[in-house]
Amino acid sequence: MIQLFFTVIFCEMAVILLLLFKTPLRKLEIMALDRVKRGSGPLVVKSVGATVLVMMTYSVYTIRELNSRPVESFNPTDQVLLAYEVLDTSLMGFSLFLALMIDRLHHYIRELRILRKTMEAAKKQSREVDEGKKANGAEVNALKEEVTAMKTMINILESECKAKEKELKAAESNSESLKKQSEGLLLEYDRLLEDNQSLRSQLHSLDQSLANSDGKKNM
């Protein structure tokens, strides 16, 4: 039993050393421990641990019983048996302690790996958010530039519209003056037509009077 417990303790110490240092064997060991903790593995480990604990309890009881004897009744066989039980109990307790350490180290390493993955995912999300903010900032700047260009175009169009309005007003004033001039010309034309008509009537009357005077002279 002592040789078996020494072997178990050395194996547990090797497992702990591999868990403490980041080596290629560490991943394999973690995978092996993950498989052990699946299915019926935890039940088997707990059964073995409970058996060792019962054996250690019995050894402790044996040690107490041997120590309760008087010193005069101790013989060399009892002393060897006591030393054997003390060593056996110590090895069993140490092996249980190392097994607990392995379990806790494996648990903390898994938690640390999950935490690192969560942190990496959070960092990735934060980078994506930052990139999205930068992209949104670029889009906002582009929109601002477009708005500025549109405002400039609106100002140009407003100035052109005002210039066109001025030209239209000038054209309207010119058309009004031309209209007035045309009305004046029409009135003058009507007056000239009337004068022409009166002159023609006067000329016709003169022609008739001359014709009458010539007729009288011929007679």
Domain boundaries, the chain: 1-167
pLDDT per position as a tens digit, 127-141:
887 777 766 667 777
Q: What is the pLDDT of residue 175?
A: 60
Instruction: For CA atoms 45, 50, 56, 59, give the dihedral sign.
Output: negative
CA-nearest of 33, 51, 31 to 42 is 33
Statement: residue 2 has pLDDT above 80: no
Distance CA(43)–CA(36), nearest Å, equals: 10
Residue position matching structure tokens 């350490």: 101
> Sorting pLDDT into bands at 50, 70 and 90, what band is 215?
low
Q: How far is CA 13 from CA 17, 29, 36, 187, 194, in A?
A: 6, 13, 18, 130, 140
Q: What is the DSSP letter of 73?
A: G
- pLDDT tens for each residue of 159-207: 887 887 787 777 667 667 666 776 776 676 667 777 777 777 777 777 7
* Burial call 135-154: b when 16+ CB within 10 Å, e when fewer: eeeeeeeeeeeeeeeeeeee
What DSSP designation does 69 have? S
Instruction: Compute the distance between CA of residue 126 and CA of residue 120 in angstroms, rounded to an integer.
Output: 10
Determine the pLDDT at residue 174.
67
> Which amino acid type is present at position 7?
T
pTM over 0.95: no
Tens of pLDDT, residue by residue over 91-107, are: 888 888 888 888 888 88
Give yes or no for residue 217 having a pLDDT over 60: no
The DSSP call for residue 72 is G
For range 73-98, the mean pLDDT: 81
CA distance linking residue 51 with residue 40, whole number of Å = 17
Answer yes or no: are the C-beta atoms of 5 and 95 closer than 8 Å: yes
Dump pLDDT digits (tens) for 19-69.
888 778 878 887 888 787 777 777 888 888 888 888 888 888 888 877 777
Residue 196 burial by CB count (10 A; 0-12/13-18/19+): exposed, middle or buried?
Answer: exposed
